[in-house]
Amino acid sequence: MSHEDVEIVILGAGISGLGAALKARELNLSSTVFEARSSAGGLLDNFEVQGFRFDRAVHLSFATEAKVREIFDRTPYLTHPADSYCFDESVWLKHPVQNNLFPLPASEKVALIESFLKRPETVQADNYESWLRHQYGDGIAERYPLRYTDKYWATPASALSTSWIGNRMRRAELGEILHGAFTSETPNTYYTKEMRYPVTGGYKAFIQPLIDDATIRLDHEVTAIESKNKVVRFENGNIASYSKLISTLPLPVIIKLLDDVPNDVKAAADQLKATSVDLVSVGFSAKLIEDLWFYIYDKDILASRAYSPSVKSPANAPAGCSSLQFEFYSRGDQSQFTPETLIENTRHALAKMKIGTPDDILFMDHKFLKYGNVIFDRGMEENRRIVLAYLNSIQISSCGRFGEWDYLWSNQSFISGYEAVK
């Protein structure tokens, strides 16, 4: 057992914790990052199966912040156009689907456009389902985003707020819908035009310089935080005293680790929910995959989306091979599926999408991540405010996707950690 006395203790060696460590170094402050897992990187970490490399879920960079690019651009990278596709009952459509109805039969296109023209004029207060019906009309909403919501958020759209949307969802415009119904020659309206990915080493290579420069203690899972004594206790018996504590832990997790938390804060934290993620990673013995990623609307396919590590970088697969990774979401930190169910359903998905043959499959690997995305339940923002206000009152800075409890991309998570050190 050891007892360290550290000026700044940082909990979590994901990108936000590493961003905090960088800022501390720039200010000539001593800091140590404590990580529960046996490797750094958090959600940006990766793993290998039979010579194939897979990230822990899909990651691509479109960062514009100068500080992020200063770090990421140290690593040689490839660029990809932000082209993605949608699979709907044996039909492949370009994304966003409402602007690319061209492959559908004429009768279906007419029905969807008529529904769009009859869409509701107003949105009910902070209701994502109402927002979708207002944007796209009942026909498009029910056929595409409402189905996808059930899979990706594992929560009914009517139970979600709209505060997370930003530019993530393309607003519907009649001219775009009509144009995409008549021709496949449609512009890319994605919120970024270019995606970047490291040449080698997976997405983690972008943050490897931060990992190399930080003082990190691996295999240190927090078991208790004594805020009055400014002490953190770990499962391995070690202890760290601090002057400043920065946490990237999920808000419901850190509240359970703290002593003397008021009941109203505990109740608010209990209401904060996130998705967990099952990953099924597939290695193919041939170059079968050309698309970077795609969304899946079919109800009989449990995955919400899939992406190709071998398209992101050829170094992610052995020569002459290719790969896909499918994402399955559950509400809460326990999966609603068994690994066997997911692997069998992935076989069904590949057959339905006509991707290769069973003989092309070298392996299917299953991994489970307890935290994927923050769920924006209606009223979540007030519960989040209560928890963050309490942490601030006991001088704990909470940052990152799950520390801010927000829909942050990797670049935003880095900035969140970087700015947490004052």
pLDDT one-digit tens code per residue, 241-291: 999 999 999 999 999 999 999 999 999 999 999 999 999 999 999 999 999
Instruction: Give residue 169's pLDDT.
Output: 80
* CA–CA distance, 250 with 199 (Å, rounded to integer): 31
Give the model's pLDDT for residue 190.
Answer: 76
Helix (H) or strand (E) holding 133: helix 128-143
State whether the Cα torsion 53-59-64-67 is positive or negative: negative
What is the spatial distance between Cα 404 and Cα 384, in angstroms, rounded to a whole number? 8
Residue 3's pLDDT is 94
Rg (CA), the chain: 22
Judge whether 239 and 231 are in contact, CB under 8 Å.
yes
Half-sphere exposure of 228 (CA within 13 A, CB side): 3
Under 8 Å between Cβ of 225 and 398 = no
What pLDDT digit, counting tens, does each position of 301-355 carry?
A: 999 999 999 999 999 999 999 999 999 999 999 999 999 999 999 999 999 999 9
Assess contact for 240 and 232: CB atoms under 8 A: yes
Distance CA 150, CA 145 (A): 9
- Measured from the Cβ of residue 260, the count of other Cβ atoms closer than 10 Å reads 8
Give per-residue burial for 11-27: e unless 16+ CB within 10 Å, then b.
bbbbbbbbbbbbbbbee
pLDDT of residue 122: 84
Q: What pLDDT does 20 receive?
A: 98
Evaluate the CA torsion angle 159, 372, 18, 10 in order and state its sign: positive
What are the distances in angstroms from CA 119 to CA 128, 131, 147, 182? 15, 10, 18, 21
Residue 418: exposed, middle, or buried by beta-carbon count in 10 A (0-12, 13-18, 19+)?
Answer: buried
Beta bridge partners, 328, equal 278
pTM: 0.95
Q: Which residues of the chain have pLDDT under 70?
A: none
Count CB neighbours of 225 within 10 A: 24
Compute CA 90 distance to the chain's CA centroid, rounded to the nearest angstrom.
27
Q: What's at 124, amino acid-wise?
A: Q
What are the backbone dihedrals phi and psi of residue 23, each rounded to the nearest 5 degrees, phi first?
Answer: -60, -40
